[in-house]
Amino acid sequence: MCLRPGTLVSYASVTRNIATYNAQLGIRALAGVIDGGGNKAADNGDPDQCEGLACTMAKLPTSPPGPHVSVPRA
């Protein structure tokens, strides 16, 4: 299941997700959500990173995601 950031769900299984560079929590699981394990989070605005399930520290890329600009070579 692929969800847009900020989507709140309940009665679902959350398994093997990576949440980075969010303004608040990386993952917030509501009551009834099943922790399927393997969830990771890092560099989110809330130092708790995740709420309502266990998550470990994600390995961050060398730079934050963003638009990639290609410059043509002369």
- Give the long-range contacts of residues 22-28, CB within 8 A, separation 24 or more: 25/49, 25/50, 25/51, 26/50, 26/55, 27/51, 27/52, 27/53, 27/55, 28/52
- Name the pTM for this structure: 0.68
CA dihedral 6, 18, 21, 31 (to 10 degrees): 40
pLDDT tens per residue, range 35-73: 999 999 999 999 999 999 999 998 876 666 666 555 566
Report pLDDT for 68.
57
Q: How confident is the model at residue 2 (pLDDT cuts 50, 70, 90)?
A: low
